[in-house]
Amino acid sequence: MHASETLFRGLFDDASLFPPASLSMPEAVAGHLSHQAAWYGEMSGPFVCAAARIDALGIALTAGNVAALDLAVVASAGAADLQDAVDKISADPRLLLRAVEVSVALPPDQPPGEARTLTAVTELVKVLDSTPLAGATAFVEIPLAELSGAALTVMADHGYLAKLRTGGVTAAAFPGAQLLGSCLATLVEHRMAFKCTAGLHHAVRHAAEDTGFEHHGFLNVLLGTATALAGADAAEVAVVLAELDGGILADQARQLSQDATADLRGMFRSLGTCSTDEPVTDLVTLGLVSHDQADS
């Protein structure tokens, strides 16, 4: 069984509507269909769309004569617009809801800390519990600095997973290796599965040429998670996240057993990327996947 069939299957959620790509709806839908039909199609996950743009998505599907689309909906305004979006999706048989992604609204009148996070998560869980998700996975985004075991316990009790923001359009949006390593270790400790979003444009940690921002590599994050699952502490995970040598990371990925890979992907479910081409190209360059493997 090839790496592309296990370690990278369904890893790349198509977030091309979001920055920095910010494609138009027709462009994004066409691109997604192209990814799904490509040799690396099994690596391509659902189409990610903001709740406020569900109507526009329906128009694009009609114009493109698209019969069905796996969808992850992002409630950008929090729980307030989630129910309306789910109602619209339920009314359109072409839209197959696979996931919802919602951010917690931290109470501004409470000081930062575990109590504030727990309050916010508890309130959001109530909304999710009353929303007919029809089997879709719900990912709850908590600011990484606010992640707490108590909040994760509440989420786990209700069957909801975590969403980690690993980048953005400002330098401050990119968490350091120590913070992200600590979060990964906490998630593994609580056996809380998660997805990542933003900033993971390439396989290996790097500084972006245009902005100079230090981006985490998605392969670093995968292997950092595997390291935590193997019993490493947060500091050891951070070392993996800081690794800059793609050859070293590729060798570590090849050494993962099938059981370790299954456990890893049970934890790290997917990542949102605005360009599926870039991460796939990196994997080809590192020798971890190939067109020939897909055809064999």
- Residue 1 confidence (pLDDT): 41
pLDDT higher than threshold 70 for residue 267: yes
pLDDT, tens digit (0-9, with 9 covering 90-100), for 281-292:
999 999 999 987
- Among 97, 150, 88, 89, smallest CA distance to 125 is for 150
- Residue 229 confidence (pLDDT): 98
Residue at 147: amino acid letter? L
- Residue 76 confidence (pLDDT): 77
| Kind and range of the H or E run holding 161 | strand 161-165
More confident residue, 79 or 94: 94
- C-alpha 271: how far from its chain's center? 3
**What's the structural domain count of the chain?**
1
- Residue 295 confidence (pLDDT): 54
Give the pair of three-digit tokens for residue 17: 């509507």
Q: How many CA atoms lie within 13 A of 98 on its CB side?
A: 16
pLDDT, tens digit (0-9, with 9 covering 90-100), for 28-80:
999 999 999 999 999 999 999 999 999 999 999 999 999 999 999 999 777 77
At a CB cut-off of 8 Å and minimum separation 6, what does 241 contact? 177, 180, 181, 205, 216, 220, 221, 224
Instruction: Report the SS3 class of residue 1.
Output: coil
| Kind and range of the H or E run holding 121 | helix 114-129
For residue 132, give its domain range: 3-295
pLDDT higher than threshold 70 for residue 2: no
Which of 67-71, 84-88, 162-166, 175-179 is least confident?
A: 84-88
| Region 177-202 average pLDDT | 97
pTM of the full structure: 0.94
- Residue 4 confidence (pLDDT): 53
**Percent of the chain having pLDDT more than 70?**
97
Read off the pLDDT band of 112 (50, 70, 90). Answer: confident
**Residue burial 119-151, b: 16+ Cβ < 10 Å; e: rest:** bbbeebbeebeebebeebbbbbbbebebbbeeb
What average pLDDT does the chain have? 94
Read off the pLDDT band of 293 (50, 70, 90). Answer: low
Alpha-carbon gap, residue 34 to 26, rounded angstroms = 12
Read off the pLDDT band of 3 (50, 70, 90). Answer: low
| 8 A C-beta contact, residue 158 and residue 139 | no
- Among 33, 10, 26, 28, smallest CA distance to 18 is for 28
| Region 211-224 average pLDDT | 96
- Among 277, 263, 198, smallest CA distance to 7 is for 263
Domain with residue 286: its CATH number is 3.20.20.70
